[in-house]
Structure 1
Amino acid sequence: MTDEVSDSPTAWVAKHIKRYEASDGTYMGVPSLLLTTRGRRTGQLRRTALMYAEDAGRYILVASNGGSGTHPAWYLNLVADPDVEVQVRSEIFRARARTTDGEERDRLWKIAAKGFPTYDKYVVTAREKGREIPLIVLDRV
């Protein structure tokens, strides 16, 4: 990705990015990564910091949005354009994002929630608002 990258305009996410950069990739003691997506409306590159889990060398993301009734913007962006850039600590690489379902989703959800148990609370809250929280796998390309 060669265009200029903008950090999330959401204040707490921007702080998360700064903490990521200062802490060598952790946030609240949980491993984090930086995800760069292309804005679905603007075409601009957008960077956000996210907690992740791992499975067989792949990175797992949870589009929890704190259990709200709407998907986070970064998720909507990667659905529109699944080709993303990822930074884990000092390593930067390209990946293709995909939303999981069925048995794969169930298995990976357990891994993600083990690392951040609050996801299980978010899933209940989101369902009450009519939304299933997407679980995403990043496959290196």
Structure 2
Amino acid sequence: MTSTDSKTPWLPPRWFIRTAWRVHRFLYRVGGKRFLREAEPGKGGMLRLIVTGRRTGTERAVILSYVRDGDRLVTLAMNGWGDTPPLWWLNLQANPEATARTVDGTFRVRAREAVGTERDELWRKLNSAEGWGDIEAFAARRRVQTPVVVLDLVGEA
């Protein structure tokens, strides 16, 4: 392979990704917090994010990978690396107040998109964290830039 060649990472089919999400949500419902894991230095964790639906006003929950950056939780707004934004991100854009449940507890958070230098620094942190894979290669598959989402802690829930 020459230096101009790039290997596109393999992605499972969409039906598989959606099924995996459903299974993960089911396991969380029956097993609770034991299916979450705390982010450690250089390693991503799993959290449960509860947002308010922008149209229905009802609570919606999703399990996300994240890294910790001081008092902030940082994740990517991706939909199986497809171009369309995930619904949880659209909901947060309409109402940035949410609840994040981690192994350490349940916290009220305020979401925002990192931009500029902050985005670049957090992107590098996410890319170097174990458990995310090569996000540069995955992001290259998308026609749109992947938002880096910062969940600022605003208190305990």
Same topology, TM > 0.5: yes
Tell me the equivalent position of 2:36.
Answer: 25
How far off is 1:43 after superposition?
Answer: 1.1
Residues 38 and 11 (structure 1 numbering): CA distance in 2 closer, same or farther, change over 3 Å?
Answer: farther
How far off is 1:67 after superposition?
Answer: 1.7
Tell me the equivalent position of 2:52.
Answer: 38
How far off is 1:24 after superposition?
Answer: 4.4
Task: Check if 1:117 corresponds to 2:133.
Answer: yes
**Partners of 2:74 and 2:150 within 8 A in 1:** yes
Paired amino acid for 1:121: A
How far off is 1:11 after superposition?
Answer: 3.8
Among candidates 42, 51, 61, match of residue 47 of structure 1: 61
Counterparts of 2:120 and 2:44 in 1: how far apart (Å)?
21
Tell me the equivalent position of 2:6.
Answer: none
Counterparts of 1:42 and 1:32 in 2: how far apart (Å)?
26
Tell me the equivalent position of 1:85.
Answer: 99
How far off is 1:90 after superposition?
Answer: 4.9
Tell me the equivalent position of 2:147.
Answer: 134
Counterparts of 1:81 and 1:104 in 2: how far apart (Å)?
22
RMSD: 2.1
Secondary structure of the residue aligned to 2:54 is coil
Provide the aligned length of Structure 1 versus Structure 2.
128
Among candidates 91, 114, 117, match of residue 103 of structure 1: 117
How far off is 1:117 after superposition?
Answer: 2.6
**Partners of 2:51 and 2:92 within 8 A in 1:** yes
Residues 122 and 64 (structure 1 numbering): CA distance in 2 closer, same or farther, change over 3 Å?
Answer: farther
How far off is 1:111 after superposition?
Answer: 0.7
TM normalised by structure 1 equals: 0.81
How far off is 1:23 after superposition?
Answer: 3.3
Paired amino acid for 1:94: R
- Give unpaired runs (5+ residues) of structure 1: 1-9
Counterparts of 1:119 and 1:40 in 2: how far apart (Å)?
28
From the two aligned structures, give the one with the greater helix fraction. Answer: 1
How far off is 1:118 after superposition?
Answer: 3.3
Paired amino acid for 2:122: L
From the two aligned structures, give the one with the greater strand fraction. Answer: 1
Seq. identity, %: 31
Tell me the equivalent position of 2:82.
Answer: 68
